[in-house]
Amino acid sequence: MKEQPLYYFLLELASNFFQELYALGARVIGVASMPPIGCVPAQRTLDGGIERVCDETENQAAILFNSKLSTLIDSLNKRLP
């Protein structure tokens, strides 16, 4: 069986959390996107080399996650009035 990428797990957790909030009566939920994690100081120190450059692979992962999160939120907005 092929293992799912980590972002599927994170999106499932987010979806469940939003639906639990909705079931408790929440109707307006603010959601912040993931920042460019390849540019946070720890990532730059660990993977940025001597010049401490941003890790573009990590930034692309954040962009992918944010895209999937946006799709999830659109889906939940249509399903939950």
In this predicted structure, the answer to whether residue 1 has a pLDDT above a threshold of 70 is no
Structure confidence at residue 32 (pLDDT): 94
Mean pLDDT of 47-74: 92
Determine the straight-line distance between the first and last CA of the chain, rounded to whole angstroms: 36
pTM: 0.82
Distances 4 to 7, 11, 45, 73 between C-alpha atoms, Å: 8, 12, 28, 20
Where is pLDDT greater, at 70 or 6?
Answer: 70
Domain ranges of the chain: 39-70
Q: What is the pLDDT of residue 24?
A: 97
